[in-house]
Amino acid sequence: MNAKQIRDLYPITKDRAYLFSGGLAPVSVRHEKAMKKHMDWLSEDPDDMYVNGLDADGSDCRRMFAQLTGCDEDEVAIVESTSSGCNIAFDLIDPVAGGNVVFDDFSYPSSVFPWHLPPHEGLTKRFVHAREDGIIHLEDFEQSIDENTVAVCISHVTPIEGFKQDIKKVAEIAHAKGALVIVDGAQSAGAMEIDLHDTGVDFFSTTAMKWLLGAAGVAFLYVAKRHHSKKPTRAGYASTHSFDIHDFRLKDNAQRFELGMPNLLGLAFTKPGLEILVETDMSVVEQHNLELSGYAIAGMKELGIDVTTHDDPNYRLGVISARHEAAAELWNHLHNNKVDTYYHGETFRVDPHIFNNRDDIDMLLKGIDSFIQ
């Protein structure tokens, strides 16, 4: 599929410029059809759905996520959220006396807060700072990671700054010191071409509800094969080979980190979004998102907006962040003019995706200009 064909699947594009894919994916006609099929199944024959459809969507979603991110299906666990996936990874890391964990200043709270709880509260927390150029430099990671570092936790693309991290290089630095790498991929999976095997990261957690064009309550955790022998701190029927309570044998793949019944309605909603991306070359998606974000950044700067996301495409992707003292009022003005964005405090954010085009960005820029006037 190409961007025009994908755009035609989304009814919202007929009336609005939806520019918040980094927060919540809109609904396509394929999603509507899938939801109707699922609800009809529940309404007319839920017993048949339980017997014949319980695992189908989950298996399909797991397979397509693996295809989109360059890993194997048995390395993917279905979880509830990016945060829950990251927490599973944290629990697999043994606390070490005198150890430390490394973040950066752009780290998402759910990647930092759990390390303040048992059994990891005794670890020293180190933060790598961005320089004046807005870049978190790899040399600064090298300075912070040592033989006592147990883990490095970073976002692939940060949600506040829109900064894209070179996770392959970070993994090389961390592994050279014996540290594991845990990546929050909520703002990258579905927005760019990813080969998790090539990156060498140990864990990668992401939600379906954003760039993967899926539902809230569904997420994916990549666990590299070399960690499949690690034992989770929790277990359920989905974690094991047998339903017999006298036969405890954990599955020998990433599914050992799953507990029980997944979000069936969410999986039914997530499947069409993954299918759309699978039918599209992810390099095309990435280039489309970079081109649109670059066009938006240039236009916003011309209007005097303080864009904080880096100009260089090597350090950005789809998230465009700016500072504005009246961010809430700007969001409200744009929303009333059929342009959907996001704000938090003085942060104003724009997230174009594959179903957007330059007309949407022009609507954004026109709306910003009228707000300024």
Given this model, what pLDDT does residue 126 score? 97
H helix intervals, 119-262: 138-144, 167-176, 196-199
51 forms bridges with which residues in the sheet?
none
Helix (H, G, I), strand (E, B) or coil at 187: coil
Amino acid identity for residue 6 in this structure: I
Q: How confident is the model at residue 41 (pLDDT cuts 50, 70, 90)?
A: very high
Burial of 270 (0-12, 13-18, 19+ CB in 10 A): buried
Buried b (16+ CB within 10 A) or exposed e, 215-239: bbbbbbbbbbeebbebebeebeebb
Q: Fold match between 3-27+281-372 and 44-278?
A: no
- Between the alpha carbon of residue 64 and those of residues 4, 201, 273, 305, 373, the distances in Å are 22, 19, 10, 39, 47
Helix (H, G, I), strand (E, B) or coil at 214: coil
344-359: average pLDDT:
97
pLDDT > 90? residue 52: no
Given this model, what pLDDT does residue 54 score? 80
CATH of domain 44-278: 3.40.640.10
Domain ranges within the chain, ordered by starting residue: 3-27+281-372, 44-278
Q: What is the pLDDT of residues 191-205, one digit of tens each?
A: 999 999 999 999 999
Given this model, what pLDDT does residue 201 score? 98
pLDDT > 90? residue 116: yes
Given this model, what pLDDT does residue 55 score? 86
Q: Which CATH number fits domain 3-27+281-372: 3.90.1150.10, 3.40.47.10, 3.30.930.10, 3.40.630.30?
A: 3.90.1150.10
Burial of 51 (0-12, 13-18, 19+ CB in 10 A): exposed
Given this model, what pLDDT does residue 40 score? 95
**Pairwise CA distance, residues 3 & 329, whole Å:** 31
**Pairwise CA distance, residues 7 & 37, whole Å:** 23
67-95: average pLDDT:
97
Given this model, what pLDDT does residue 49 score? 87
pLDDT > 90? residue 51: no
